[in-house]
Amino acid sequence: MKILVLNCGSSSLKFQLIDMDNEERLAKGNFERIGGMKTTLKLNIRGEKTEILHIARDYDEAIDFVLEVLLNPEYKLINSLDEISGVGHRIVHGGEMFSSSVIINDEVVSEIEKCIALAPLHNPAGVAGIKAAMKALPDKPMVAVFDTAFHQTMPPKAYVYQIPYRYYTSYKIRKYGFHGTSHRYVANRVAQIMEKDIKDLKIINCHLGQGSSICAIDRRKFY
């Protein structure tokens, strides 16, 4: 089973093609400056790196070209789009609506759009990527994985800011937590390496990169 993973940014598209049967990443890439006149697709196929200059004016054109690349017989990745079993979308903000990953349907897309005010740079791109992927791969199941879902066990004392409460009730201004997919993986990997049940551990995670966050995990409750 092969899964295509998409991460749509404000002007970029990152993707990976993963063979789940062999637990092997077959290819990954990063489409940069989508909408500009010098769009570049950086590819890494089984460790071999290359760059392709290709103009993509929007996510429809970017995803269509990614699929063309995956089908290119030169790379020997897939012979047909039928080999792709499903598509995963990394979505930055799921608000209070989503506490886990979900199968995407019209209602899910609508709820993600409602969170645009909370992530005005990222969620519009996420929605555009979902719609483009649905158009290019109409019969494939699609899953939304939310960066905020991991942190939904935070109690109110942890997520409510010390500002007038009406800002939360009216505008949903609160702490949501981010980089949840990273924090989930790291916490479970720590438990695995220590050979302990995560329910017995208290862990401090540090996600360090262009964006950074710290997460306290108390026996599978995430802060």
pLDDT tens digits, residue range 26-66? 999 999 899 888 889 999 998 899 999 999 999 999 999 99
Average pLDDT over residues 16-34: 94
Provide the residue range defining the domain that includes 86.
1-146
At 220 the pLDDT is 63
Higher-confidence residue: 192 or 10? Answer: 192
In the three-class reduction of DSSP (H, G, I as helix; E, B as strand; rest coil), residue 114 is classed as helix
Count: domains in the chain: 2
Q: What percent of the chain has pLDDT over 90?
A: 90
Kindly report the pTM of this predicted structure: 0.92
Instruction: Give the pLDDT mean for 132-157.
Output: 95
The side-by-side arrangement of strands in the sheet containing 40-45 is 48-53, 40-45, 24-32, 13-19, 2-8, 84-91, 142-146, 102-103
Check whether residue 130 and residue 24 sit in a common domain: yes
Question: Which two tokens mark 127?
Answer: 């929605």
Q: Active-site residue 147, yes or no?
A: yes
From 147, 197, 200, 218, active-site residue: 147
* CA–CA gap between residue 203 and residue 180 (Å, rounded): 14
Please give the mean pLDDT across all residues of the chain: 94
Looking at residue 169, its amino acid is T
pLDDT tier at 196 (50, 70, 90 boundaries)? Answer: very high
Domain co-membership, 49 together with 125: yes
Q: Give the end of a domain, one of 95, 130, 146.
A: 146
Same domain as 14, residue 43: yes
Q: What is the pLDDT of residue 146?
A: 97
